[in-house]
Structure 1
Amino acid sequence: MTIAPVQRTGSTAWTDARLLLALEEVVEGELNRHLKAAREWMPHEYIPWSQGRDFDGVLGGEAWELSQSKVTPLGRVSLVVNLLTEDNLPSYHHEIATLFGRDGAWGTWVHRWTAEEGRHGIAIRDYLLATRAVDPVALERARMDHMGAGFQSDNAHSALHSIAYVAFQELATRISHRNTGHLSGDPLCEQLLAKIANDENLHMVFYRNLLKAAIELTPDLAMQAIRDVVTEFRMPGHGMPGFERSAAQIAIGGIYNLRIHHDDVLQPVLRHLKVLEVGGLGPAGIQAQQELGLFLEGLDGQAARFEERQAALLARRAARAAQA
């Protein structure tokens, strides 16, 4: 296990090792709760296999064409982004296994989380290929490029930063999957992504409850970690090819944007944990809490300006479509 530099709050020194040990009992309780709440589901049951047929190449099947896709253009872009994000699971597993360890309750959770996340990529890819929703050659090349670059967390400052990050990121992923399903234009896709979104929500609850325990253990350091994560937040797929263009389309289309990020990801977690109401903080904790509040106010303003630009752009598109 990698040991972070000693961090101090008052007279108490916290290393990653000490924090993870202090949270072990909480992890065990949350793991047991998670296992009771999780419902087994089979990815293969959500794939319309009867729609599948051979592609061109070795089997001499039919080449892919855009007209074969049933999903909307927006849904197609978001499905690829979501799948490529899920594809980097080996790197994510390496990150959390290195940080949290592979023993005890932490290790059991690491492997359980990885197993549940693994079926997401399997199911989405099977759906995309069986329904010919995307170009399979372009998808495979994008997977090779993205996985070939690997993944390294932006939040490697401490275990606290990592716990805070995933508390928000799991909720963001849940919402991205859910909204992609809603806007995919295919009820089968929406049904599949609803199952995946439910898994992500359970993962969010696990990490959110860990973060709550961490706030009780070391409020000043937790507040600083939350401040850092919220103000520097990026989705784990940010390094994939063409991400900026895809993210812009996803934002304008209403799958994931600043307003959704502020209202549906940051605020629910922060309100649940009462982060801006935490008292008894030292100077560093108070400063972090104040900076977090100011950042949220600024982000809300940015989201409002985005909504204005989004509405104007969509209005122009509607006008052009009406004239066509």
Structure 2
Amino acid sequence: MTLAPTSRHGQAVWSDSRLLFALEEVVEVELNRHLKAAKEWMPHEYVPWSDGRNFDGVMGGEAWAPEQSKVTDVGRIALVVNLLTEDNLPSYHHEIATRFGRDGAWGTWVHRWTAEEGRHGIVMRDYLLTSRAVDPVELERFRMAHMAEGFESDNGHSMLHSIAYVAFQELATRISHRNTGHHSGDPVCDRMLARIATDENLHMVFYRNLLAKAFELAPDQTMAAVRDVVVGFRMPGHGMPGFERAAAQMAIGGIYNLRIHHDDVLQPVLRFLKVLEISGLSGEGLKAQEELGLYMGGLDAQATKFDERREAMLARRAARIAAQV
């Protein structure tokens, strides 16, 4: 099978099937690296089972109440958002299995990634219910509503768009989990989310390294895909009930906001790949690189304005609390 791309307006154009074939060897290398780096861990070891007791209902236990939760208000909001995101794993599996296939190294990675992500939902739900961190009835109703909607990528329908999206999204998820743990107020929760974040970082490295190879093979197309993904980026849980309000509270609470998105998610991946320094681009690739640079500058300015508003809001809130004491 020839790997030669077709040509359009003097530029090499790679089809998804040719790129999948060309990247297969890199996927195998990255898969083997991942398997050596990934440490086996058991979800049940991170759950405080001795804290558990029956809820009301058929078991005749105690109904949930907010004061039973050990986590902070913003921690509780973020935990629900993070778990509901993990709950949609069947849709994500379908998405990447459709894009990447279920054969060869690609298929082995798709199933391995799915299995590892599955642990995240297991341990988070067990922790939340056992520690009574969140309302179990509301959580289940949100889960049903969110999963019934499913998930479909809105970042283009090429495999390059998919690779670019998950390279940023996995890092965004890692950051969200780590910050949720730090702001949760519960050391047990912090330890659990740190373990999950370690997995998410390994997933990011896998996709980031694939993206690096894609830049070597198809620089113009890959640059355009990265531009599209960065400019239109949304977290996979954006369709869940009450997401906008929850995202706003998480932003103010310092878990995930524009500054974090710019500094801790977009910039690290772009810097590592030297995306804005790549030379030899032509046509759409060069245009995409210029637009990406302009967008990042504008996003940094927006983040600065957000930081100023957030600091003012927190100062007013602290003053009100001090006045009540």
TM range (shorter): over 0.9
Q: Deviations over 1:27-62 (max 9, x none)?
A: 000000000000000000000000000000001001
Does residue 285 in structure 1 map to residue 270 in structure 2? no
Structure 1 residue 314, shift from structure 2 partner: 0.3
Unaligned runs of 5+ in 1: 1-5
Task: Quote how far apart the aligned CAs of 1:11 are.
Answer: 5.1
For 1:1-324, list aligned pairs within 5 A. 8=8, 10=10, 12-324=12-324
In the alignment, the residues of structure 1 paired with residue 157 and residue 125 of structure 2 have an alpha-carbon distance, to the nearest angstrom, of 33
In the alignment, the residues of structure 1 paired with residue 36 and residue 148 of structure 2 have an alpha-carbon distance, to the nearest angstrom, of 36
Whole-Å separation in 1 of the counterparts to 2:153 and 2:294: 25
CA contact (8 A) 2:170 2:203 kept: yes
Instruction: Give the whole-Å Cα distance in 2 for the aligned partners of 1:201 and 1:173.
Output: 9
CA distance in 1, matches of 2:235, 2:8: 29
Distance in 2, matches of 1:142 and 1:284, equals 42
Residue 280 of structure 1 aligns to a residue whose secondary structure is: coil
Q: Please give the alpha-carbon distance, in whole angstroms, between the structure 2 residues aligned to 1:241 and 1:276.
A: 37
Q: Residue 3 of structure 1 aligns with which residue?
A: none
- Which 4+ runs in 1 deviate beyond 4 A? 6-9
Q: Aligned-pair distance for 1:165?
A: 0.4
Q: CA deviation at 1:155?
A: 1.9
Give me the whole-angstrom Cα distance separating, in 2, the residues matched to 1:224 and 1:242. 32
Which residue pairs with 2:3 in the alignment? none
The letter for the 1-side match of 2:246 is: S
Tell me how far apart the structure 2 counterparts of residues 14 and 214 of structure 1 sit (CA, whole Å): 10
Q: How many aligned residue pairs are there?
A: 319
Which amino acid in the other structure matches residue 124 of structure 2? I
Please report how far the alpha carbon of residue 13 of structure 1 lies from its aligned counterpart in structure 2 after TM superposition: 3.3
Deviation at 1:323, TM superposition (A): 1.2
Scaled by the length of structure 1, what TM-score is found?
0.97
Where structure 2 has 5 or more consecutive residues not aligned to the other structure, the ranges are: 1-5
8 Å contact from structure 1 (residues 82, 177) kept in 2: yes
Shift of 1:14: 1.3
Give the Cα–Cα distance (whole angstroms) in 2 for the partners of residues 150 and 8 of structure 1: 36
Q: Distance in 2 between matches of 1:164 and 1:277?
A: 17
Deviation at 1:9, TM superposition (A): 7.3
Q: Deviations over 1:50-89 (max 9, x none)?
A: 0000000001001111110000000000000000000000
**When the two structures are superposed, what TM-score results if normalisation uses the length of structure 2?**
0.97
Measure the CA separation in 1 of the matches of 2:8 and 2:266. 27
Deviations 1:253-312 (A, max 9, x none): 000000000000000000000000001101211111000000000000000000010001
2:184 is paired with a residue of what secondary structure? coil
**Cα distance in 1 between the residues matched to 2:275 and 2:139:** 41
Q: Output the CA distance in 2 between the equivalents of 1:47 and 1:13.
A: 50
Shift of 1:15: 1.0
> d(CA) in 2 for partners of 1:221 and 1:150?
28
- TM-superposed CA distance for 1:154, in Å, is 0.9
Kept in 1: contact 2:224–2:285 (CA 8 A): yes
RMSD, aligned α-carbons: 1.0
CA contact (8 A) 1:77 1:250 kept: yes
Distance 1:47 1:116 in 2: 17
Structure 2 counterpart SS, 1:12: strand
1:183-221, Cα deviation, whole Å (9 max, x unpaired): 000000000000000000000000000000000000000
Q: Structure 1: how far apart are the matches of 2:246 and 2:107?
A: 35
293 and 191 in structure 1: CA distance in 2 versus 1, 3 angstrom threshold: same
Give the Cα–Cα distance (whole angstroms) in 1 for the partners of residues 39 and 248 of structure 2. 34
